[in-house]
């Protein structure tokens, strides 16, 4: 989490060019792939996370958190939450 508005804006525009660490970029690459089409996630994606310094527990946590947010957002969208 950050209060750095410039970083937040850069991440919103395009995380691939935002000033983040290589490890954070690998994590976000994984989360984006998981969000767009989870069946496309393969062993090499987990290997890339391992190479970036994430252990199995961290990969599980990243996967669970991203999946939970995807789920909650879909539920909210389906129920029209936030639409006026």
Q: pTM of the prediction? A: 0.86
Q: Which domains can be identified in the chain, with CATH numbers?
A: 21-79 (1.20.1290.10)
pLDDT at 2: 67
pLDDT band at 71; cut points 50, 70, 90: very high
pLDDT at 76: 94
Say if residues 44 and 18 touch (Cβ distance below 8 Å).
no
């Amino acid at each position: 989490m950050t209060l750095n508005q410039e970083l937040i804006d850069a991440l919103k525009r395009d995380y691939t060019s935002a000033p983040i660490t290589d490890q954070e970029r690998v994590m976000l690459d994984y989360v984006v792939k998981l969000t767009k089409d989870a069946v496309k996630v393969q062993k090499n994606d987990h290997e890339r996370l391992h190479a970036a310094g994430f252990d199995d527990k961290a990969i599980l946590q990243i996967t669970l958190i991203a999946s939970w947010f995807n789920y909650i957002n879909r539920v909210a969208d389906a129920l029209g939450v936030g639409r006026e």
